Structure 1
């Protein structure tokens, strides 16, 4: 197993949802109010939401979960991983939590998962927030593709190489607990490979037109992992959407206060 993560309450045993194929999916919830489902990025545990989740939980019922293969969730077969399968897992979490419909916030690969959830189960999604994501790595032109060196940094597992892709250096230095929560996880190498393949192979281009939820697309203009052109294409393809571009990197939900402000206002709007 790789780098161990940590729980918000190390003595608490998270509840488990059961996926369609029997895989247990660990989740947690905090706060009261309208339910908000947080869907984390590739190979990222539910505790990676850190201060963003805690702030939302002041006014909302926030639900977060570990993707299969990560943290407290079961692994299943990593060769079968896909963003559509992860969306089914998210649906199982909503069912286990007794939630008929929730606002859904997805970051990076979690945004890809959220696209399927909103397109294929529209009655379960109130409003949709997509942060630092795309409908496909192949969207856009050749100049909008990720630099192979960036992908190498992402796959290295070396936090020092990955950190500049996600966070502002000054913020990271001032918030070591949030950085650790984001990068630390329990996962096997097959699960990590499965997550990478699921994210890489995602293509929801044919489904975006079926999304009925009002959607806020948020993206950093300095995002090297997912160039901002992808967000513009995504916002154009989703019927009821708007785009917010910010001077930020890929981990903007943590290091850029304007993201939390925008999300909270969007979810609270009548």
Structure 2
């Protein structure tokens, strides 16, 4: 499959993995935080951006194979992996399935999936399916104060050019994710990051991941919602960089 990818910066390789139904633009507002110390690699998930958009089943495990394929194409043997939201689900499979390729792992605002995960509430699900869903999604991503001060555009609410069938395929891939049994086999040093006020992917998933992955450490960002890495970048980016520097 043709997977578009982007490379910027210099230093040890760092793969940045975006959320569900989003292209590499998910990282655009904060990517520069990492570029002076890392060669950053992003990609457009199948169905998004400039990547191929086949109408076939997608899975987080399959997306992990796509990530490794991009690393192979770039000649990168080993990289740190930072995945957020669905990207964090994919990152779990990259670390579990390809341990020799991952030097360090950061899992942001994500979940182990399956029956052990803490799912969003029925109230949130109903609001996302009803009128005004677009505005509600923004409010799940950012605090009211941030939204009042930033008019957009926002790159965390989905690729607007994504075909409807691909959106459905992404939703299924994320919903069917279940890496619970694989998590104890992850050997990469792991940092779990989550906003305390995230109800889109409930913050209760962070300790589940931390306890399940050997040696993992957790950092909760107080007051942050799902897009903590953007709104709270002054805390989140240095946190991740310091973690990676200590393990490079």
TM-score, length basis structure 2:
0.92
Deviation for aligned residue 1:209: 1.1
Which ranges in structure 1 are unaligned for 5 or more consecutive residues?
1-22
SS in 1 for 2:29: helix
1:27 paired with 2:5, answer yes
Instruction: Name the counterpart of 1:66.
Output: 44
What are the Cα deviations for residues 34-84 of structure 1, in whole angstroms up to 9, with x where unaligned? 110011110011011122212111221111111000111002233x21100
* Residue pair 2:137, 2:157 contacting (<8 A) in 1 also: no
Structure 1 counterpart of 2:85, from 94, 108, 122: 108
Structure 1 counterpart of 2:226, from 250, 254, 261: 250
Aligned length: 243
Distance 1:175 1:55 in 2: 19
1:39 paired with 2:9, answer no
RMSD across aligned positions (CA): 1.6
Deviation for aligned residue 1:137: 5.0
What are the Cα deviations for residues 106-127 of structure 1, in whole angstroms up to 9, with x where unaligned? 0001000000000010011110
Instruction: Name the counterpart of 2:31.
Output: 53
Structure 2 counterpart of 1:207, from 174, 182, 186: 182
SS in 2 for 1:64: strand
Alignment of 1:48-197 (within 5 A): 48-78=26-56, 80-136=57-113, 138-140=115-117, 144-154=118-128, 158-177=133-152, 179-183=153-157, 185=159, 186-197=161-172
Deviation for aligned residue 1:222: 0.7
* Residue pair 2:14, 2:41 contacting (<8 A) in 1 also: yes
Deviation for aligned residue 1:155: 5.0
Which ranges in structure 2 are unaligned for 5 or more consecutive residues?
none
